[in-house]
Amino acid sequence: MIIENRVYRLQPSSGASWLERLSEPFAAALGPGRYPLRFSIVDVTCTEIVLEATVVHFSAHEGYARAFSTIELLDPKRRVAPSAPFVAVQIIPTGVRCEFGGFAGDAGPVTNLLASAVDFLVTHPNAVNASDLNEMAGNVLYVEGKSLDDFLLGHLGLATAASNRIGTFVDPTGIAYLDDVVNALNAARAVAGIRCELYTVLQSELGVSIEWSEAGCAVGTVLRPEAILHAVESLRAEGVDAIGGVSVIHGVTAEMFARHVAGEIPNPSGGVEAIITHLISKVFRVPTAHAPLPYYREMKGTPTNNPRASAEFISTPHYYSVLKGLARAPRLVPLPRRDCACHDTMTVNNVGAVVMPASCLGGVPALAAEYSGIPLIAVSENTTVLRMTNQKMQMGNVIEVRSYLEAVGVLLALRKGLSVSSLRRPLRGARRLSGATQEPARRLAPTPQ
């Protein structure tokens, strides 16, 4: 099994939505034995869609080949009809230098603000993980990014869980920090009552390293992905419900870390952490999250003058936030049929809105929202290194706002069933449908006697 990052330049096919236009050419470009673990549109022209993707190469005889045989984005399931409870999804993409969420947990306040306006807010670990801090509200559902994508594509449901038993894998590259990891596990058990007593050290080093994409995003690769999958399989055999992991990430220089802390570039480790957890989500369909072992201890100076980065300086294993998130993360329920409705399980039918940075509309959450006609609230203040705004994407479901404060108002309006346009000025008048035929009216007229 090999993981690599690639750029695809596709000629779009016909279709009403972006998913429909890119599915056929993307499938052809991938070819057999390849699975897109993550991807995003990074540019579009009149004749071309440019994708950056992380792809898994696998052979048919490999033990996990069957798990990669189905590509969810090629068979999306459209939202049938909105239903209660009212759920919003918040996306804070990793590895793109989000102004809100580009540092450890600094999207926590806006996450909780959005959660106050809905019944449940689904978000991913990147939004709330902050080393030893995780202050997400009680109605925030902690869902790994790949599982969140598949939830929006209609392939997964979410069932709330009172408590999960968490298993942890440790990259042997960081064996010097094993005591710190075990202390985090035991502290979580003693203080918070989290069920996280089981851990395993991988049989071989993962070889996790960073890369940078052409668009300036932090990505990366894993040299031995099978080591993760074997470890997760053994933990699952012991009855764990969720998987956490810690590993050393190679390739981060002192200069990179300093530029990240200064807000100049994305977090170098963010993209490759997503690859690790996407892999687990795809194969095992369990809640999962990851934390980096302190590869940069010798690079740190304290204190930092950037308060948004301060959470990265208060912990050695950076792992308690993961344990707190996974402890009550929702269980993942596969939805095999388009009309599948499961009792006490949230599906895409419950999603009333998606909230995300206005410059990141090329990812799966935005494309899935367009496909299902879900309102997409695009926040311009949350700038990133990307430039995929609705000016390029031309989606009809996008509601553009400046701030998360404004986004909360839109969520409240949607929840109450109010027209968002009624709350803005100028207010346009009723519009007559031009070119409408009079034939239906003649059919409805009384028949002459």
- Classify each residue of 241-255 as buried b or exposed e, where b means 16 or more C-beta atoms within 10 Å of its C-beta: bbbbbbbbbbbbeee
At the second CATH level, the architecture of 161-329 is 3-Layer(aba) Sandwich (3.40)
Candidates 317, 321, 272; CA nearest to 297 is 317
| Domains in the chain: boundaries | 2-74, 161-329, 348-420
Q: Helix 145-152 and helix 364-372: axis angle, to 10°?
A: 20
pLDDT tens for residues 287-328? 999 999 875 555 555 556 788 888 877 778 889 999 999 999
Phi and psi dihedrals of 16, rounded to 5? -80, -25
Q: Which helix (H) or strand (E) holds 147?
A: helix 145-152
pLDDT tens for residues 127-176? 999 989 999 999 999 999 999 999 999 999 999 999 999 999 999 999 99
> What is the overall mean pLDDT for the chain?
91
Res 77 pLDDT > 60: yes
Q: How far apart are CA 216 and CA 271, in angstroms?
A: 11
Res 445 pLDDT > 50: no
Alpha-carbon distances of 24 from 12, 76, 154, 433, rounded to whole Å:
8, 13, 19, 34
Backbone torsion region of residue 373, taken as left when φ is above 0, otherwise alpha when ψ lies between -120 and 50, otherwise beta: left
How high is the pLDDT of residue 236?
97
- Cis bond upstream, residue 365 (ω within 30): no
Question: Which residue reads 């793109």 in tokens?
Answer: 96
Fold of 2-74: Dna Ligase; domain 1 (3.30.1490)
How high is the pLDDT of residue 438?
57
Three-state DSSP class for 182? helix
Comparing 196 with 65, the larger pLDDT belongs to: 196
Q: How far apart are CA 102 and CA 271, in angstroms?
A: 11
How high is the pLDDT of residue 449?
44
Q: How far apart are CA 141 and CA 123, in angstroms?
A: 6
pLDDT tens for residues 38-56? 999 999 998 999 999 999 9
Q: How far apart are CA 185 and CA 194, in angstroms?
A: 9
pLDDT tens for residues 349-393? 999 999 999 999 999 999 999 999 999 999 999 999 999 999 999
Three-state DSSP class for 410? helix
How high is the pLDDT of residue 83?
87
Q: What is the pTM of this model?
A: 0.93
Q: Got the DSSP string for 276-307? A: HHHHHHHHH-S-EEEEE--TTGGG--SS-S-G
Tell me the Cα Rg of the chain: 23
Across residues 186-214, what is the average pLDDT? 95
- Contact between 322 and 354 under an 8 Å Cβ cutoff? The reply is no
pLDDT tens for residues 220-259? 999 999 999 999 999 999 999 999 999 999 988 888 888 8
Q: Helix 18-30 and helix 364-372: axis angle, to 10°?
A: 130
pLDDT tens for residues 396-437? 999 999 999 999 999 999 999 999 999 999 999 998 998 766
Q: How far apart are CA 161 and CA 370, in angstroms?
A: 29
Under the banding of pLDDT at 50, 70 and 90, the label for residue 441 is: very low
Comparing 336 with 2, the larger pLDDT belongs to: 2
As a whole number of Å, the end-to-end CA separation of the chain is: 78
Give the single-character DSSP code of 446: P
Candidates 101, 104, 54; CA nearest to 317 is 104
By mean pLDDT, which of 4-18, 257-271, 351-365, 435-449 is the weakest? 435-449
Q: Are strands 218-222 and 249-250 parallel, antiparallel or unpaired?
A: unpaired
The side-by-side arrangement of strands in the sheet containing 140-142 is 140-142, 120-123, 87-90, 351-357, 376-379, 398-401
How high is the pLDDT of residue 108?
96
How high is the pLDDT of residue 446?
45
Candidates 92, 126, 107, 119; CA nearest to 365 is 92
